Every structure is written in C-alpha cells, then in structure tokens.
C-alpha cells in the first residue's frame, strides 16, 4: 500500500493532471458563476445571436493553422518544433485574412441564410478576428504542453475567462447586446498577449527560425493538413451546426434557451476534455516517440471517465429544471427541460472525447479523419429533418449524437489495438 501511495505521489501524469485540472476548474468556474448575472443583464435573443456567432467562428477555427498545431508535439528537436509553430502561425494569418474578406462580401447572404435580422450583420466582421485569436491559443497551448509548462497553460485560460467575463459585464450598459460580443473578443485578445509572454519566457526565440526550415517541416508534416483538415472541419461543423439548425427552425429566442442548455452541459464536459486531453496527448505522444505501450493508461482513464459520466447524467436528468429555474429565473425553465433531453449525449462525450487525441498522438490521422466524416454526414443529414416541435427535434438529435459517440469510442479502441500489435511485431 505504501509503495502504491508513493507511486501515485511520484506519478508525472497525476501531477500534470492536477495542475491542468485546477487551472481549468478555475477558468470554467468563472464562466459558470457569471452566467446567472449575464442572463439577467442581456436579453434571451442576444444569446441567440451569440450562439450563432460562436458557431460561425468555431467551425473554421479548427483548420486555421491547417492542423499543424498538432504536429508541434511530434518533432524530436525543440528547434524544429519552434520552426513548425512559426509556420503554423503564418498560415493562420493568411487564413484569417481570407476568411474576413469572404465574410465581408457574403454578409447579406449569411444574414438571410441564418434566419437573422439586419442587426446581426454588425456581428459578422468579428468572426475572422475571433478565429485568428483562438487558433493562436491552440497553437501556443500545444507548444507549452510540449515543454510541460502546464502552469503557463492555466494562466492562458484564466486570462481569457477573467477579461472576457469582466468585459461582458462592464460593456452591457455601454454597448447593449454588442457588449456580449466585445467582451468575448477582449478575452481572446488578452490571452494572445499572455501567450506571447509565456512563449518567450519559456525559451522561444527567433534565433533558430529559418524560412527554409519552416518550409521543410511544413512539407514533412504535410499529412496533417492532407488527412486532417477536411475531416476536422466537417467534424467541427457537425458539432456546431445544431445551433445554426435550431435557429433556422425555431428563431433566436428559442436558440437563446438552447444556448444556455449547451453552456451548462458543455462547460463541465469541455472542462474534463480540455484538462485530460492536454495531458493524455503529452503522455501518448511521449509513449509513441519511445515506442511504449499505451493501452493500460487509456483503459484506466476510460474507467474513471465512465464513472464520472454516469454521475453527470443522473445529476442533470434529476435536477436540471429545478436548478435552471432557481439560478437563471423562471423563463429559463425551458433550458432545463432541454438539458434533460441532452444529458445522456453529453455524458457520453465526457467519457469518449478526452481520448480523441489518441489519433494524433499515435499518428493515426486517417482513422480519426474517417470518424469525423461519419459525424458530419450524419449531422448534415439531420439538417433536412424539419419539425415544428423543438422537443421532438432535440430527442432525435440526442439519439444521433449518442450513437456517434459510441462509434467514436470503438474507433479509438481499434487504433490503439493496432498500435499495440505494431509494438509486438517490432519486438
């Protein structure tokens, strides 16, 4: 028993997990604690706007660096990782500029397609900056994780959530509904400044960055954009399209209620996913570089996630309407009933999604891409399901997403098994 306790104390995985989890808890706590206040100072319709905006920005952001942010974890040399990060950053610059131009010329069409009124056009120019800022965060986050600077990663998260929350609260009286958007942009800008500080603090320098080296590495890791850009974009669309679909069918007020359900279910899930996937990615990438087994680690993590997911599911199914009514006000009782329907789907995400980094960490990009194709086409097919009953639509969506999570899990297990077999064949 003493040896087991000593083993846990000396476990690098547990230490890194604790640091990452504590920072994520603090960052997500800010989001959750501010929601009751924000829901009272902004109209429900404004959150409908905000939900559609975050979907529009969230879909392209995953490919802004052309997936090279994942490749930053793999080079054996830190100098090569630095060069690769610079290359990914400039790809993000180019992508964001082109995206901004495209949105500028298609603003009228987008407004009509999204079933929004003219006021939403003022939100559209902010999509490109939001994409640029958040793509940088993901890139720098992975660079810091590679250096095992998990404390710095926590500061990035806290700087964003603190400045974002303060901005959204303080700007409500000055800019009305636009304050919600401007606060979001402020948060993303602040964590970019924080990220630049930590990059240079922890050893990044342009001294060894050479254009020929950058181009060579972009070519060497071309499999990431080649096999991952399109499926990742489709997967992101599959995750975020429901907000757009819901708005087209039921309007921005109902979408505001739907948004709160997604927030309250999504924040705990993303807390678990972001906290553990960061550390799991580092652990599996390290094991892959050293040709070590990963199966015991993955299965142990999944057992813990399964127990946590069941507790999460029961909590929302039993108490969601009462809690939403009490915390956010009587008008948000609708959000509580939405949350009950979606609880099982999000509990499965909590169990499976933290391990999705296995595909990149073990260099199994093609398998991960196939899952993402399946996800998108199933969700896109649901786009054509029309009903005038919001509850009926949500039940169908929840069942579809639950099935997709199960498929995702079996693909992860299959690829881990193939990796383990490859180790045996080498030995």
**What is the DSSP secondary-structure string of 267-306?**
HHHHHHHHHHHHHHHHHHHHHHHTT---HHHHHHHHHHHH
Q: Give this prediction's pTM.
A: 0.80
The pLDDT value given to residue 21: 67
The pLDDT value given to residue 397: 92
Q: For the chain, which ranges sit under pLDDT 50? A: 1, 4-5, 7-8
The pLDDT value given to residue 18: 66
What is the DSSP-derived secondary structure letter of residue 334? H
Cα 189 to Cα 64: distance, rounded to the nearest angstrom: 16
The pLDDT value given to residue 353: 86
Distances (CA, A) of 244 to 113, 115, 305: 10, 9, 30
The pLDDT value given to residue 130: 95
How many Cβ atoms from other residues are within 10 Å of residue 363's Cβ? Answer: 15
Cα 47 to Cα 244: distance, rounded to the nearest angstrom: 13
For the chain, how far is it from start to end, CA to CA, in angstroms? 33
Contact 407, 238 (CB under 8 A): no
Q: What is the pLDDT of residues 79-137, one digit of tens each?
A: 999 999 999 999 999 999 999 999 999 999 999 988 888 889 999 999 999 999 999 99
Percent of the chain with pLDDT over 90: 48
Find tokens 């008008």 and name the residue. 331
The pLDDT value given to residue 275: 72
Q: Return the biggest CA–CA distance within the chain.
A: 67
Contact 49, 127 (CB under 8 A): no
What is the DSSP-derived secondary structure letter of residue 76? S
Token reading at 353 = 């999604």
Count, residues in the chain: 427
The pLDDT value given to residue 14: 61
Of 358, 381, 380, 382, the C-alpha closest to 368 is: 358
The pLDDT value given to residue 10: 55
What is the DSSP-derived secondary structure letter of residue 388? S
Find tokens 């290359």 and name the residue. 87
Cα 130 to Cα 57: distance, rounded to the nearest angstrom: 6
What is the DSSP-derived secondary structure letter of residue 351? H
Find tokens 């939900």 and name the residue. 51
Angle at 196 between CA 192 and CA 200, to 5 degrees: 165
Q: Alpha-carbon torsion 59, 63, 69, 70, what sign?
A: positive
Contact 129, 184 (CB under 8 A): no
- 3-state DSSP call for residue 364? coil
Domain edges within the chain: 13-421
Angle at 236 between CA 94 and CA 127, to 5 degrees: 45
Of 340, 278, 281, 354, the C-alpha closest to 312 is: 340
């Amino acid at each position: 028993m003493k040896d087991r306790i000593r083993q846990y104390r000396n476990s690098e995985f547990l230490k890194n997990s604790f640091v990452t989890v504590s920072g994520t808890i603090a960052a997500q706590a800010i989001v959750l604690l501010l929601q009751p206040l924000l829901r009272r100072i902004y109209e429900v319709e404004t959150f409908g706007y905000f939900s559609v905006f975050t979907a529009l920005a969230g879909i392209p952001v995953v490919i802004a660096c052309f997936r090279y942010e994942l490749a930053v974890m793999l080079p054996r040399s830190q100098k090569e990782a630095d060069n690769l990060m610079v290359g990914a950053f400039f790809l993000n610059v180019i992508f964001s500029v082109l995206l901004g131009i495209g949105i500028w010329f298609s603003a009228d069409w987008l407004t009509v397609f999204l079933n929004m009124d003219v006021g939403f056009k003022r939100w559209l120019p902010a999509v490109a900056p939001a994409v640029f800022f958040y793509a940088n965060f993901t890139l720098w986050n992975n660079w810091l994780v590679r250096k095992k600077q998990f404390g710095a990663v926590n500061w990035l998260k806290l700087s964003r959530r603190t400045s974002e929350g303060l901005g959204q609260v303080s700007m409500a009286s000055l800019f009305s509904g636009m304050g919600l958007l401007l606060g979001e942009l402020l948060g993303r800008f602040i964590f970019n400044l924080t990220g630049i500080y930590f990059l240079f603090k922890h050893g990044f320098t342009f001294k060894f960055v050479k254009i020929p080296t950058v181009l060579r590495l972009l070519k060497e890791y071309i499999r990431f954009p080649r096999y991952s850009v399109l499926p990742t974009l489709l997967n992101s669309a599959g995750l975020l399209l429901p907000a757009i679909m819901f708005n087209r069918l039921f309007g921005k007020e109902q979408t505001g209620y739907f948004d709160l359900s997604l927030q309250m279910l999504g924040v705990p899930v993303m807390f678990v996913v972001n906290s553990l996937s960061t550390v799991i990615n580092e652990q599996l990438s390290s094991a892959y570089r050293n040709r070590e087994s990963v199966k015991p680690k993955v299965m142990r993590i999944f057992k813990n996630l399964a127990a946590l997911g069941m507790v999460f599911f029961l909590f929302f199914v039993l108490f969601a309407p009462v809690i939403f009514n009490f915390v956010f006000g009587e008008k948000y009782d609708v959000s509580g009933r939405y949350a009950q329907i979606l609880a099982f789907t999000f509990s499965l995400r909590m169990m499976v999604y933290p391990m999705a980094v296995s595909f990149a960490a073990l260099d199994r990009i093609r398998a991960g891409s196939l899952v993402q194709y399946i996800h998108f086409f199933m969700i896109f097919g649901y786009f054509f399901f029309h009903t005038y009953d919001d509850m009926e639509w949500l039940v169908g969506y929840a069942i579809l997403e639950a099935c997709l999570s199960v498929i995702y899990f079996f693909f992860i297990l299959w690829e881990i098994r193939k990796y383990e077999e490859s180790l045996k064949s080498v030995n």
